[in-house]
Amino acid sequence: MTINGVAIDMPAGANISIVNGIVTIGGRKATTYSQSGSVVVNITGDVGNLTADGDATVTGNANDVSAGGSVTCGSVAGDVTAGGSVRAAGRLGGSISAGGSVRIG
């Protein structure tokens, strides 16, 4: 996983929260980061649930994704909530709530 270009180790399928400069993985504080400007989270592989202040990209699958910015993802088993647009390349199992456009497929 990278946050604004900084790599952070995480186990596959972990629940991730990136809020107010604090990164929590599996319910435990993993690290903090300097929050200046927009926050961009990129995850390669599968993730459990993801909550992020800014834009979130998951190159893989997720359970639920909630982001203050836009969301780009593979398949999502649950719901996607985004303050911006949503682009999903795979299957969605739940609902989508987006402040911008929605594109599936």
pLDDT single digits (tens) 2-17: 888 888 888 888 999 9
- Give me the residues paired with residue 22 across strands: 19, 32
CB-CB neighbours of 87 under 10 Å: 18
pLDDT in tens, 24-72: 999 999 887 766 667 788 898 899 999 999 999 999 899 999 999 999 9
Q: Which residue has the tokens 């319910």?
A: 27
- Region of 84 please: left (phi>0), alpha (psi -120 to 50) or beta: beta
